[in-house]
Amino acid sequence: MSDAATARATVAEPPDGPNGVRQPVPEPLLPDWDGAALHRVVPTLLEELAHPGEVELPPWFPAPVAGARQVVLLVIDGLGAVQLQERSTLAPVLTAAAGGSITSVAPSTTACALTTLVTGKVPAEHGVVGYRVALDGEVMNVLQWSVRGKDARMRVPASEFQPCASFPGAKGLVPVVTRQDYGPTGFTAAHLGHVDLHRWHTPAGLVTAVRELAAAGSPFVYAYYEGIDKVAHAEGLGQYYDDELRAADRLVGDVLDVLPPGAVLVVTADHGQVEVGGSVEVFGPEIMQGITLISGEGRFRWLHVRPGAGADVTATATGLHGDVAWVRTREQIIDEGWLGGVPSARVAARLGDVALVPFTPTAFLDPADTGELRLKARHGSLTPDEMLIPLLAWHIA
């Protein structure tokens, strides 16, 4: 499997590492916004369906998509291209597909990536800029759609928080095949909006729903499977992960078996994974005294600083943690194009002032979200393991 992008060279002035030894620091692997990136997948597929055989596909798009008149897009949450390539023998169906890898988003986390995929918009536009985002001096958990553990669907209407339409250009309601308990959530409403939900209880139900929808002639079907991500979080990237990858590969094979002739199956993901285990960075008083709030996630941690403390917090964070993480101000992240553009004031207010984004296998603790400590593998940062995701396709003869 070829990579759409690779990690680049080192920065000119790496920080001091342990014992004062200068350590090389890799540059972040930014989303390829003008090339092989997640936000271009759905718009390209829908344009091809609207004008089959008339659209010149980007060179990084899998060849079987050309001329497609029926497409099933299966998203396998957490399946990174690097992890798949390292375990190619465990996934013969996926490995045999046409295609390669593309870049995810920043932060490389589910809420941001799935919204980017289905809307075709960059994070600076849609505003779902992380798993936990600042909201009026508090932090909202986007996946749970909650503030301080309380349901926020009435307080924060999904269509106002994320106003971009899903599947732009699709004819009629797009059928979405997803897990039973993902139907009525605030995040489902925020990133999918008005769609035709088909909810499954077991993976076999996903296959059944796809078969029925494809047989009925649905031109575009979106299906979502989260097993890889759940197992990686709970068990890491060891034997349980390997077995789940085998199971996901069989699931792809089962979907292929039920598609009618002429259909095209496309498989992609939202992000990859990094094994973190118990490696956690804790902010000391030197930083905590200068901040009012912590948001984001362990591998893309935002600090919200007190008025006038920005320069001191940035310098302190760089000195203490610059050997394990990229330290950037909000302005630097915007200027360097991490979010794909300049966010509106509404979206920018959801960001912190200083971000710490690990390039080593560690995470930054938020004392208000200790549940993350249970996660053995994580994502969110801009390393190749997290940023490179597969884009694969098959044409059913």
CATH assignment at residue 207: 3.40.720.10
Residue 366 CA to residue 135 CA, distance in Å, equals 16
The pLDDT value recorded for residue 21 is: 57
The pLDDT value recorded for residue 5 is: 36
Both tokens of residue 384? 């190749």
Question: Is 50 exceeded by the pLDDT of residue 1?
Answer: no
Q: What is the CATH number of the domain that holds 321?
A: 3.30.1360.180
Residue 36 CA to residue 43 CA, distance in Å, equals 13
Residue 386 CA to residue 109 CA, distance in Å, equals 9
- Under the banding of pLDDT at 50, 70 and 90, the label for residue 10 is very low
| Residues 134 and 68 both lie in one domain | yes
Residue 256 CA to residue 260 CA, distance in Å, equals 9
Question: Is 80 exceeded by the pLDDT of residue 17?
Answer: no
The pLDDT value recorded for residue 19 is: 54
| Residues 280 and 259 both lie in one domain | no
Give percent of the chain with pLDDT exceeding 70. Answer: 94
Considering the domain boundaries, does residue 156 fall inside one?
Answer: yes
| Residues 203 and 286 both lie in one domain | no
- Under the banding of pLDDT at 50, 70 and 90, the label for residue 348 is very high
Question: Is 70 exceeded by the pLDDT of residue 178?
Answer: yes
260-312 pLDDT, tens digit per residue, is 999 999 999 999 999 999 999 999 999 999 999 999 999 999 999 999 999 99
The pLDDT value recorded for residue 311 is: 97
Question: Is 60 exceeded by the pLDDT of residue 132?
Answer: yes
Q: What is the mean pLDDT of residues 71-89?
A: 98
203-231 pLDDT, tens digit per residue, is 999 999 999 999 999 999 999 999 999 99
| Residues 85 and 142 both lie in one domain | yes
Considering the domain boundaries, does residue 16 fall inside one?
Answer: no
| Residues 247 and 362 both lie in one domain | no
| Residues 143 and 241 both lie in one domain | yes
Considering the domain boundaries, does residue 208 fall inside one?
Answer: yes
Considering the domain boundaries, does residue 26 fall inside one?
Answer: no
Question: Is 90 exceeded by the pLDDT of residue 13?
Answer: no
Considering the domain boundaries, does residue 342 fall inside one?
Answer: yes
23-72 pLDDT, tens digit per residue, is 689 999 999 999 999 999 999 999 999 999 898 999 999 999 999 999 99
| Residues 229 and 281 both lie in one domain | no
Considering the domain boundaries, does residue 42 fall inside one?
Answer: yes
| Residues 266 and 282 both lie in one domain | no
114 within 8 A of 127, measured Cβ to Cβ? no
Considering the domain boundaries, does residue 6 fall inside one?
Answer: no
47 within 8 A of 55, measured Cβ to Cβ? yes
| Residues 257 and 282 both lie in one domain | no
| Residues 125 and 249 both lie in one domain | yes
Both tokens of residue 31? 């989303």
DSSP secondary structure string for all residues of 105-167: -SS-SHHHHHHHHHH---HHHH----SEEEETTEEEETTTTEETTEE-TTTS-HHHHS-SPSS
User: Domain limits at 337?
Assistant: 276-375
Residue 236 CA to residue 254 CA, distance in Å, equals 26
Please state the domain count of the chain.
2
The pLDDT value recorded for residue 371 is: 86
| Residues 390 and 285 both lie in one domain | no
| Residues 291 and 229 both lie in one domain | no
Considering the domain boundaries, does residue 33 fall inside one?
Answer: no
Q: What is the mean pLDDT of residues 68-86?
A: 98
